[in-house]
């Protein structure tokens, strides 16, 4: 009930504030002590991304790889956000991500998070849990984030496209700066072998190839048939029509404004950026990314 109240009240959207150098809202910091003291397990799989980079997509793939054969009814009866709980979320009137994770009794636990690398609970490093990071090019990310914030009542008011884009460039987004996020996790892969760094664009280009990479990393001896089946089920149009995966089971999302699964393409930014916005964005991007060997494709 609380959630439908929340969606009626415009004023109940949270405000952004600085949290240890990263912009956040209370829905992701209210449970901070419990998040930081979270007890990881060695068989946990942590799925990390900046918002709107394909986290839901990869979580669906992982859930199918692990559970589609043993619990085939799961994908059509249990919402994805319950199968893959969101570690840091804490909205009054709902179980927190930590509580949901602590009550899971099917293993491995697949854990969703958008935390920047410096905020990941220490326990995951101590247990050497496997971590999959999904990165998406900045231009498509900001477009997707804009439409998401328009329809998600638990996010700050997005304002118009131009001011939203400026906020993105300034790093004043929930979960902070895109550059810091993708760059921080990329840097961590240089010193830790328990991280697989995936690109959304690669997943779009050849899903089956990336599913195979995921299986190798997780040491899953999945059959070719299963990989094909998972690839097929996780196609954008199939997921978009799966009520347990497309966000329609999530009460903070207003589908009258925009679908949660909107396009699932590479290059949609061209429909939003003006020539001037694109030039300014590129200039800022090149300055921020000049010292990294991390490269993205903005078209396929």
> Does the pLDDT of residue 120 top 80, yes or no?
yes
Ordered domains of the chain (ranges, CATH): 2-289 (3.40.50.300)
Dihedral Cα 123, 125, 126, 127, nearest 10 deg: 80
Averaged pLDDT for residues 40-50 = 98
Which of 85-89, 101-105, 239-243, 290-294 bottoms out in mean pLDDT, i.e. has the lowest?
239-243
Residue 104 corresponds to which tokens in the numbers above? 């899971």
Q: What pLDDT was estimated at residue 10?
A: 46
Split at pLDDT 50, 70, 90, the class of 7 is very low
Q: What pLDDT was estimated at residue 260?
A: 62
Q: What pLDDT was estimated at residue 248?
A: 67
> Does the pLDDT of residue 143 top 70, yes or no?
yes
Split at pLDDT 50, 70, 90, the class of 80 is confident
The closest alpha carbon to 78, from 52, 110, 30, belongs to 110
CA angle 144, 201, 172 (to 5 degrees): 35
Dihedral Cα 191, 193, 194, 198, nearest 10 deg: 90
The pTM (predicted TM-score) of the whole model is 0.92
Q: What pLDDT was estimated at residue 1?
A: 40
Q: What pLDDT was estimated at residue 234?
A: 81
Give me the chain's average pLDDT, please.
90
73 or 195: which leads in pLDDT: 195
DSSP β-ladder status, 22-24 and 17-19:
antiparallel
What confidence tens digit (pLDDT) does each residue in 248-264 have?
667 777 777 776 667 77
Question: Could you give the residue numbers annotated as active site?
Answer: 114
Split at pLDDT 50, 70, 90, the class of 278 is very high
What confidence tens digit (pLDDT) does each residue in 171-186 have?
999 999 999 999 999 9
What confidence tens digit (pLDDT) does each residue in 189-220 have?
999 999 999 999 999 999 999 999 999 999 99
Averaged pLDDT for residues 165-171 = 98
């Amino acid at each position: 009930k609380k959630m439908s109240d929340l969606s009626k009240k415009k004023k109940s959207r949270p405000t952004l504030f600085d949290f240890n150098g990263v912009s956040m809202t209370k829905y992701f910091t209210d449970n901070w002590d419990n998040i930081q003291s979270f007890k990881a397990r060695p068989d946990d799989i942590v799925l990390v991304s900046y918002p709107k980079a394909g986290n839901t997509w990869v979580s669906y793939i992982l859930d199918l790889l692990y559970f589609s054969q043993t619990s085939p009814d799961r994908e059509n009866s249990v919402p994805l956000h319950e199968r893959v709980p969101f570690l840091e979320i804490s909205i009054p009137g709902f179980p927190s991500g930590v509580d949901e994770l602590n009550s899971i009794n099917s293993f491995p636990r697949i854990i969703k998070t958008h935390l920047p690398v410096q905020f990941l609970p220490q326990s995951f490093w101590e247990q050497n849990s496997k971590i999959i990071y999904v990165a998406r090019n900045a231009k498509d990310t900001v477009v997707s984030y804009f439409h998401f914030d328009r329809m998600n009542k638990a996010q700050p008011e997005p304002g118009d496209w131009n001011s939203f884009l400026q906020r993105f460039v300034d790093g004043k987004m929930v979960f902070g700066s895109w550059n810091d996020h993708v760059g921080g996790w990329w840097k961590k892969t240089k010193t830790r072998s328990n991280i697989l760094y995936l690109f959304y664009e690669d997943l779009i280009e050849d899903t089956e190839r990336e599913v195979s990479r995921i299986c190798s990393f997780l040491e899953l001896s999945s059959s070719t048939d299963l990989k094909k089946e998972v690839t097929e089920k996780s196609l954008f149009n199939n997921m978009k029509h799966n009520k347990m995966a497309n966000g329609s089971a999530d009460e903070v999302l207003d589908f009258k404004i925009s679908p949660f699964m909107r396009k699932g393409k590479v290059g949609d930014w061209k429909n939003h950026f003006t020539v001037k916005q694109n030039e300014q964005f590129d200039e800022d991007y090149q300055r921020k990314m000049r010292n990294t060997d991390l490269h993205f494709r903005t078209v396929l």
